[in-house]
Amino acid sequence: MENVYHIPALLEPTLDGLNIQPGGVYVDLTFGGGGHSRAIMQRLGENGRLYSFDQDIEAYENRIDDARWTFVHSNFRHLRNWMDYYGVEQVDGILADLGVSFHHFDSVERGFSFRFAAPLDMRLNQQQQRTAADMLREMDEEALARVLYLYGELKDGRRLAARICRSRASRPIETTDQLVSVVLRGGETPEALPTGTPIEVLPAQKKDLARLFQALRIELNDELGALREMLCAARDMLRPGGRIAILTYHSLEDRLVKNFLRSGNLEGKVEKDFYGNVLSPFRVLEKGRVADEEEVERNPRSRSAKLRVAEKQE
């Protein structure tokens, strides 16, 4: 799978869920390798338009040479501002395929993977100043424990946070290999290994390390904050009959999306009319579809994807 920028998960059901109108205006909020965007373009007619966002400028390597397509190098939390800039008031469909692409894990020097030694960077937007190493230097133990527990679902988040804080007192934790060593073994922060050195871990340790790295990434890039802002903007920008399709990879983001699509608000508070009918700006069409066995076999990373689709009500 080396050198593949990304393989999109649940491609067909996502496209079907969006119900692409040939002359419609669409937004792909997470361009990445462009797999979903290209499939949307194939269904668009001459007058259709697609705006594809990505906060990571490396995604622009996959640009689509087509006058109907526009790349927006921005965090999708600024969806409304950018659409105002392009003079677009309402859109027919919005897609978000959250998180990171294969490319991020495969780009060793960006520090998303616990498999190789690298600086602890983890920024999705390279224009951002603060890296994961800065975050680990600055965060207090209590906040760190909370992040590991909530975003990493690590039951022993408190113990890991304590190890990190003890070790950083001897020497800052600046690389992926130093972090792995500290959480697995405790003690003083070791010397950093040269970038690209494989990190030896036992198979049984991989799941928790993946969760630890995921938790730090989510916190550093404020992924849930961006998702909340984007959901509200998307609700307000969708035309009646327009569709929103969201692919999530983490239980917290999935719960947020599920409650939002059911209720139309971030609190997930369902309003009802006098007769008990649910009053929501959305009609939910797809309630957490997952990849089938054949797709997981072909693309193991699709295993954790969950698709939710809703239609904006008249």
Ligand X SMILES: C[S@@+](CC[C@H](N)C(=O)[O-])C[C@H]1O[C@@H](n2cnc3c(N)ncnc32)[C@H](O)[C@@H]1O
> Could you list the residues that contact ligand X (CB under 6 A)?
6, 8, 30, 32-36, 53-56, 59, 75-77, 97, 99-101, 124, 226
Name which of 55 and 131 has its Cβ closer to ligand X.
Answer: 55
Q: How far is the CB of 226 from ligand X (least distance, A)?
A: 4
Alpha-carbon span 247 to 129, nearest angstrom: 28
Q: Which is closer to ligand X, CB of 123 or CB of 258?
A: 123
* 58 φ/ψ angles, rounded to the nearest 5 degrees: -65, -25
Q: Which residues of 1-37 are buried (b: 16+ CB within 10 A; e: fewer)?
A: eeeebbbbbbbebbbebbbbbeebbbbbbbbbbbbbb
- Min dist CB 182 to ligand X, Å, is 27
**Smallest distance, ligand X to C-beta of residue 259, A:** 19
Helix/strand/coil for 288: strand
Backbone angles phi, psi at 309, to 5 degrees: -130, 140
Q: Which is nearer to ligand X, 100 or 209 (CB)?
A: 100
| Least distance (Å) between residue 77 CB and ligand X | 6
Q: Name the residue nearer to ligand X (CB basis): 151 or 183.
A: 151
| Closer of 88 and 162 to ligand X (Cβ) | 88
Residues facing 198 on adjacent strands: 116
SS3 (DSSP) at 95: strand
If the CB atoms of residues 126 and 313 are measured against ligand X, the closer one turns out to be 126
Decide whether 142 or 236 has the Cβ nearer to ligand X.
236
CA triple 87-88-90, angle to 5 deg: 150
Q: Least distance in Å: CB of 213 to ligand X?
A: 15
Q: Which two tokens stand for residue 78?
A: 């600024």
Cβ 28 to ligand X shortest distance, Å: 7
CA 288, chain centre distance (Å): 16
Which residue, judged by CB position, is nearest to ligand X in the bound state? Answer: 32
CB of 307 to ligand X, least distance (A): 12
Work out whether strand 238-248 and strand 91-97 pair parallel, antiparallel, or are unpaired.
Answer: parallel
Which of 215, 217, 248 has its CA nearest to residue 230? 248
Shortest distance, position 157 Cβ to ligand X, whole Å: 23
Residue 25's H or E segment, with its range, is strand 25-28
Is residue 1 a contact partner of residue 102, using CB atoms and an 8 Å limit?
yes
* CB nearer ligand X, residue 51 or residue 116: 51
Percent helix, percent strand, percent coil in the chain, to nearest 5: 45, 15, 40
